Amino acid sequence: MIILYTSPGCASCRKAKQWLKDNEMTFVEKNIFTTLLKEEEIKYLLQRTENGTEDIISTRSKVFQELHTDLDDLSVKELVDLIQKNPSILKRPIMINEKNFVVGYDDDEITALVPAKLRAFSDCACNESCANYPICGKLRKEIQE
């Protein structure tokens, strides 16, 4: 199951949501402004990041700048409180499932949410007997080279 953290008016969030729908991916959407993120949920997001807060906190956002806060000086509890009170400091969208964590919308990165078995199947599904092989097969060969 994919959890999609969004906000209204976010073009990248709309793109991610549409991509998930177009690819028939099951997801739960959580609007960060109408759903209070629980402490455990925020901690889980932080645990899944590669670079800690810089992966999910938009330090260049106007709201964050107005807080005059140094993230390095905050305890985990203070950081959780900060995010709960100011959800707009989160980068969006955030997409997470059991194995993958994607922040922002990127055509290539979002494909990480497709299960590995399905990706492997699609890689071998198109062969010379496929009607579209002259197009997609050639393209796939070019990418692999």
- Please identify every residue annotated as catalytic: 10
Residue 128 in tokens: 């010379």
Is the Cα torsion angle 84, 85, 90, 92 positive or negative in sign?
A: positive
Is the Cα torsion angle 87, 5, 10, 75 positive or negative in sign?
A: positive
Contacts of 45 (CB under 8 A, 6+ apart): 56, 94, 96
